[in-house]
Amino acid sequence: MKNNTTLYDQLQGLTQKYTDTLRRLPLRPAGWLPHIVYIEEEGDYPVYTMYKLEEIRKDGSCVLLNPATGERFNDRQLYEINIDWLDTVVRWYYECCREQHLGKDHVSAVLRQETDAEGPIIENFMETFSSDPLPLEDTVSLFQEWRTSRRFSQNEFVKLTDEVITILRNCFGNEAAVYRENMLLQVLYNKWDEAGIRIVGVRDVREDDIQEIRASYLRPATAKETQDCIITLTKTMNDAIQK
C-alpha cells in the first residue's frame, strides 16, 4: 500500500508539472489548438472519452468540446486530461513554434512573463539566442545564467581585454594603448544601462576617477598581473616619498 501511495503521489506531481507548463505557455501558434485529448471518466466502468481541447487559461482551467455530442464545457480543468495527452499537447506546442519560426517570440514572451527583466535587457539577451524554443524552466535558467555572466565581484581586479587594447592601438596609437594595457582596475559596482548592457564601475589603482566600462570589455586580472602592478605602484610611491 505504501508503494502504491508513493507512485500515485509521483503521478500527481507529474500531472501538476504538465498543467503548470500548459497554463504558462505564452503563445498560441497556428494549428496548436484545438487538439484531441482523452479523459478517463467514470460510468458503469471507467472509459476514456475523446474531447477537443479548445482553450487553455492561465488559472489552469480549459474549454473542452465533446465532438460526439457537440457539447462544450467552458470550465473544465487541465489536470482532468490523461497525462499522456498533456505531454502530447506540450510537445505539439513546441513543434508548432519551431515550424512557424516562433522560437524567439516564445523565449521573449516567457522572459517578460516569468522574470522582472525590462524590455531592453531581454532584447539584448535575444541577440545571443538561437531560434529554437526552449522549455519554460530552461529558458529562465539560461537567461539568469546569461544575466549573471561577466559579473565581477566588488574589489576584484580586472583589466581591459586584448581585443579592446588592439582597437585602442589602431585608433589612438601605441602610447595610448600601452597606458591602458597597464591599467589595473578595481571593481566598485555592477549595473545595467538602459539598453540592457552590463556596465562595471571601476577605478584605476593609479587614479581616483571612477570609470564605467562595459563588462564585455573587461577580463579578470591574473595573480601575476595584480602582483606586478602593485609592486610597480609601491615602488613609484616610495620613490616619490624619498624625493
All three cell numbers of 233, joined, read 605602484
Residue whose entry in the numeric block shows the C-alpha cell 477537443: 52
All three cell numbers of 189, joined, read 559596482
DSSP notation for 164-216: HHHHHHHHH-HHHHHHHHT--EEEEEEEE-TTS-EEEEEEETT---EEEEEGG
Other CB atoms closer than 10 Å to residue 26's CB: what's the count?
A: 16
For the chain, the domains span 1-100, 103-149, 157-242
Q: Tell which residue, 193, 194, 213, 192, has the closest CA to residue 202.
A: 213
Question: pLDDT of the chain along its 243 residues, tens only?
Answer: 455 568 888 888 999 999 999 999 999 999 999 999 999 988 778 899 999 999 999 999 999 999 999 999 999 999 999 999 999 999 999 999 999 999 999 999 999 999 988 787 788 788 767 677 888 988 898 888 777 666 788 899 999 988 899 999 999 999 999 999 999 999 999 887 776 678 899 999 888 899 999 888 898 888 888 888 888 878 777 776 776
Helix axes 2-24, 83-99, angle to 10 degrees: 30
Residue 88 near residue 38, CB atoms below 8 Å: no
**What are the residues facing 114 on neighbouring strands?**
none
